[in-house]
A = this chain, B = another copy of it.
Amino acid sequence: MPGSRTLARELRVHRNTVIAAYEQLAGEGWTEPQQARGTFVAHSVPRPPQRPRRNGPSPVGSAGSAGFEVRGADGRSAGTPQGGLRPLSEGAPDVRLAPVGELTRAYRRVLRHGAPDLLAYGHPQGHPRLRAALAELLRSRRAIAADAEHLVVTSGSQMALELAARALLQPGDTVAVEALGYRPAWRVFRQHGAALAAVPLDAGGLDVAALEALAERTALRAVYVTPHHQYPTTVTLSAPRRMALLELARRKRFAIIEDDYDHEFHYEGRPVLPIASADRAGVVLYVGTLAKVLAPGVRLGYLLAPPPLPPILTALRTGIDRQGDHAVECAVADLLERGELQRHVQRARRTYRARRDHGVSVLKRELRGSISFTPPSGGMTLWAEAAVGIDVEAWAQRLQGRGWQVLTGRHYAYDEAVRPNLRLAFASYEEQEFAEAIGQLRAAL
C-alpha cells in the first residue's frame, strides 16, 4: 500500500489521518504492517463472498431470509389482537384511571435516593423492598402467611407461570386445567412437556369430585386454577370445594397453581380469601399480578412458593432475563408503602362496580331474550350465554364488520368446541362507551 506521506499528499488530508486509518485497518486484520518495509494487504484475507444472485438471500434487515433451516415457522403467531378491532372481551383494567402522576413521581423519588445501586445488577429474586411490600399486602389483605423470602418478583404473571412450569414439569407430567380457561397458561405447560387434562366446571366452579376421580386414575403433577373469579366464567370456587381441593392435593402430593389475577376487584362483600391462605401442606404456588391493580404495561407479577422452591425459581429466572427492573420495582414498592396504590384500587373498584351495574342493566335492556347471564360478583368481565338458536360464531363475525371483536366460548374451551357463550368486558369502558358497544352487538345480532 502507498506510504502514509504519499497517500496524505494524494488525498490532501493530514498525514495523521492516514496513519490513523492504517492503524484501524491493521487493528482489524485487513493489513499487515511489516517493519521498515511498509504496509501490505494481509495474506489471510479471503475473497469477498459472491454477490447474492437475484432472488437469492439479501442482507439481514432487508427483505432477505435466514440462511439456515427455520423450524416451527408455521402456526406460530405473535398472538396480537386483530388489527384495528376494538376488544369487547379483554379483561383489562381501564388504564385511563391509572395513577400516572404518582408512578412517575415515585420513579423519580426512588432513583434520586437510590440511583447508583438501583441501576446496577441486583438480586434476581426481586428488589427486597418490593418483596417486603408485597408480603405485607398478602398478609394484611389476603390472610396469606407470606414471607418475603418465599416471594419471587416476575415480569407479569406470565413469567410466574413460566417459572412455575419450569420448576415443576418434566415431559410426561400431567397438569389438570379448567375445561374453560386461560390458554396462555396451557401453552406454557405444554411447552415444558406436560400433558393436559381438562376438568369440568359447573355453577360452583371447578368440579373437584371430577378432579379427584382424575387423580385416582392418573398421577397429577399440578392443577392450574383461577378460583376467585374463574377465567372466563367468573364463578367463585365454593368454600367446600376449596377445602376439598387442598386436601386432595395434600394427599396426592400435587401442586395447586392458584392464579389470583384480580383479587381486589370483588364487588359483593369482601374478596374471598385465596386457597393459599388455608394451605398448611405447602401445596400452593400462588401467582399474583399488578396488571389490574396498577397497569398491564408495568410488567410486575409475583410467585409465592413453598421452600425449597424460591431459590430454584430465582435461578431459573436468571436464565431467562437475569432480573427485573429494580427502579420500577422500587417505585411500585414506594406506591404500596405510601398506600397510594391501595387508594387507587379503592377508587377503581367503585368505578368498576358501577360499570358492572350499568353494564348488567344495559345488557338486560338491549339483549333481553338473546342472552342470559349471572351478574359477576367481581372481575372485569361478564360471561353470557346466547339463547337457543343463536349462532354466536356468526354473531361475532358480523360484529367484526362493525369494528368490534368479541370472543366466544370456543376461544376459551379446552376442547375448542363451539359453545353458546360470549365474554363481555365492562371494566375498561366508560358507561357510554359500553352502551355503544352493546348497541353494535345488538345491531349485529
**In the complex, A249→B57 CA distance in Å?**
13
Q: Quick check: is A150 within 8 A (CB to CB) of the other chain?
A: yes
Given A63-B307, A236-B27, A46:B320 Cβ within 8 A: no
Contact A320 B320 (CB under 8 A): yes
Contact A158 B66 (CB under 8 A): no
Minimum Cβ distance to chain B for residue A165 (Å): 10
Q: Quick check: is A70 within 8 A (CB to CB) of the other chain?
A: yes
**In the complex, A71→B222 CA distance in Å?**
14
Q: Quick check: is A48 within 8 A (CB to CB) of the other chain?
A: yes
Binds B, one of A2-10, A321-329, A390-398, A406-414: A321-329
Q: Please, which residues of chain B bring their CB within 8 A of the CB of A187?
A: 319
Binds B, one of A99-107, A380-388, A431-439: A99-107
Contact B241 A64 (CB under 8 A): no
Q: Quick check: is A96 within 8 A (CB to CB) of the other chain?
A: yes
- Please provide the chain A residues from 335 to 391 with a CB less than 8 Å away from any CB of chain B in the complex: 377
Given A28-B272, A61-B147, A78-B124, A281:B67 Cβ within 8 A: yes
Count identical subunits in the complex. Answer: 2
Binds B, one of A174-182, A294-302, A416-424: A294-302
Given A62-B147, A243-B46, A323:B299 Cβ within 8 A: yes
Q: Please, which residues of chain B bring their CB within 8 A of the CB of A104?
A: 107-108, 111-112
Q: Please, which residues of chain B bring their CB within 8 A of the CB of A168?
A: 68, 71
Extra contacts, 18 of them, besides A73-B312, A299-B322, A325-B328 (Cβ < 8 A), are A29-B239, A44-B240, A44-B241, A45-B240, A49-B247, A60-B144, A60-B305, A66-B282, A66-B306, A66-B309, A68-B254, A76-B312, A78-B124, A78-B315, A80-B123, A80-B124, A95-B120, A191-B319
Q: Which residues of A contact B (CB under 8 A)?
A: 20, 23-24, 27-30, 42, 44-46, 48-49, 51-52, 57-73, 76-80, 90, 92, 95-96, 98, 100, 103-104, 107-108, 111-112, 115-125, 135, 138, 144-147, 150, 154-156, 158-159, 162, 167-168, 170, 184, 187-188, 191, 204, 221-222, 236, 238-241, 243-244, 246-247, 249-250, 253-255, 268-270, 272, 276, 279-284, 286, 295-299, 304-309, 311-312, 314-316, 318-328, 377
